[in-house]
A and B are shown apart, each in its own frame.
Chain A
Amino acid sequence: MQKFLFELNRDEDFQSRYAADRRGALVGFDLSAEEERALTEPDIGLLFHLGVNGQILMHFAALHSIEWQDYLQQMRDGLDRHGPVREGVYAVTGYEGVKAHSDRLGQTSNIENGR
């Protein structure tokens, strides 16, 4: 699953093939039905739960033009729906959130208009 995303994230031709036929682009990769579904929808929350490295997932979300705050929320929703990350070094430790943190530092934030 991560190998597919690694190849996709760095190859514009592969990205074009994926855009034209998401399921067809998966041929040749050893994937479960759950993984195939997560990659083709795409289901960012499920991919995070399944253990996709966050940096790989971040590039994949950017490829789909998923706005930053939506991307973070989809990961949170995935954990709520599916449970903790199954494996990897991306444990969730708890965080007040960018807006509250920025407020505490006296910084404004304009995340509502983000992309």
Chain B
Amino acid sequence: MPLVFAGVCSHAPGIVGRADQADPAAKDRLYDAFDDMRRQLEDSEPDALIVVAAEHFANFFMNNMPSFAMGMADYYEGPIENPEWLGIEKTRIPGNRSLSERLINKVMERSDVSYAEEWKFDHGIMVPLHFLTPSYDLPIVPANINCQGPPLPPLHRAWEFGQALREAADSVPERIALIGTGGISHWPATPDSGKINEEWDRRFLDQWSRCDKEAMLSYNDNQSYLDAGQGAFEIRTFMTVSAATEGASGTVHFYEPIPIFAVGCTIATVNL
């Protein structure tokens, strides 16, 4: 079936783990936006949710790093982080091995994707799920793009991955929802953590909301690193959603820099 839902959101660990350190009003605005996104997702009545994430060395390391990977299991575990630090308890998250296998087979027709029958979620997936599927009752198909350990897949390959995901979702009878999750500009896990280039973020989100493929593919990592930090490598996840919904506009429901969360917090959906 055609995708029933598509959107993007932030996943910074501080969003939950350091909630008590944030401006309460700013935190509430973000949490309300996550709630609205959850309701939209639920209203779409999905059978499964593909999460395109940029994991942080929870499963994949430089000894054997896939550019693109998808999970193929009946359940996953997470978070790998200290639950007290992240503010999210360890739990088991449902998957759907059969669905994953069918999706992966289709994606492989036009994209080189690795598969993983074991997958431990880190904050990159757990933070979005904490808000969007808080009962952990929706089967998840995790997908990962290497945004952490260069050399990274070129942006146009992320675009092609998104197109392949769309074709795969269209090919199965299940109702598939899709989210991409990552930062825009940010310098996470460095002494500069908290730094945010709001102008850069708003420009990118404008391009994203217009599904401006040419503009998004014109970024290069060297310049993004200078302007927007190494966290900006994760724009690949947002672009993958654009590619999967090419031609559709997006709506940015929430954007606000929240330094203690170390990212310009973003909630946006595609107008399918």
Report which A residues bind B (CB closer than 8 A): 2-3, 6, 9-10, 53-59, 62-63, 65, 68, 72, 75-76, 79, 89-95, 97-98, 101-102, 105, 107-111, 113-115
Contacts and interface: CB of A to CB of B under 8 A. Distances in A.
Contact of A10 (B80, B82, B190): B80
Contact of A56 (B18, B57, B195): B57
Contact of A92 (B14, B63, B190, B225): B190
Q: Is the interface of A mostly helix, strand, loop or mixed?
A: helix
Contacts of A68: 14, 17-18, 21
A12 B190 CA distance: 25
Contacts of B257: 101, 105
A14 to B, nearest CB: 12
24 contacts: A9-B80, A10-B120, A53-B57, A53-B189, A54-B230, A55-B189, A59-B57, A59-B81, A63-B82, A65-B84, A72-B191, A89-B225, A92-B191, A92-B192, A94-B192, A98-B260, A101-B194, A101-B196, A102-B259, A109-B260, A110-B21, A111-B21, A111-B260, A114-B20
Nearest to B120: A10
B244 interface: no
Given A9-B80, A57-B189, A113 B20 contact: yes
Nearest to A102: B259
A102 B62 contact: no
B86 interface: yes
Contacts of B61: 2-3, 6
Nearest to A5: B57
A94 B187 CA distance: 10
Contact of B58 (A10, A97, A101, A110): A10
Interface string B73-89: 00000001110111000
Contact of A62 (B57, B85, B187): B85
Nearest to A15: B82
A59 B188 contact: no
A95 B260 CA distance: 13
Interface of B: 13-14, 17-18, 20-24, 26, 56-59, 61-63, 80-82, 84-86, 120, 122, 148-150, 187-196, 225, 229-230, 257-260
Contacts of B192: 92-95
A101 B197 CA distance: 12
Nearest to B60: A6
Contacts of B26: 107
A68 B63 CA distance: 29
Contacts of B86: 62
B18 A55 contact: no
A55 B259 contact: no
A106 to B, nearest CB: 8
A79 B191 contact: yes
Contacts of A75: 190-191
Given A63-B82, A65-B82, A109-B22, A54 B188 contact: yes
A108 B23 contact: yes
A76 B82 CA distance: 23
Contacts of A110: 20-22
B80 A53 contact: no
Contacts of B187: 93, 95
A101 B195 contact: yes
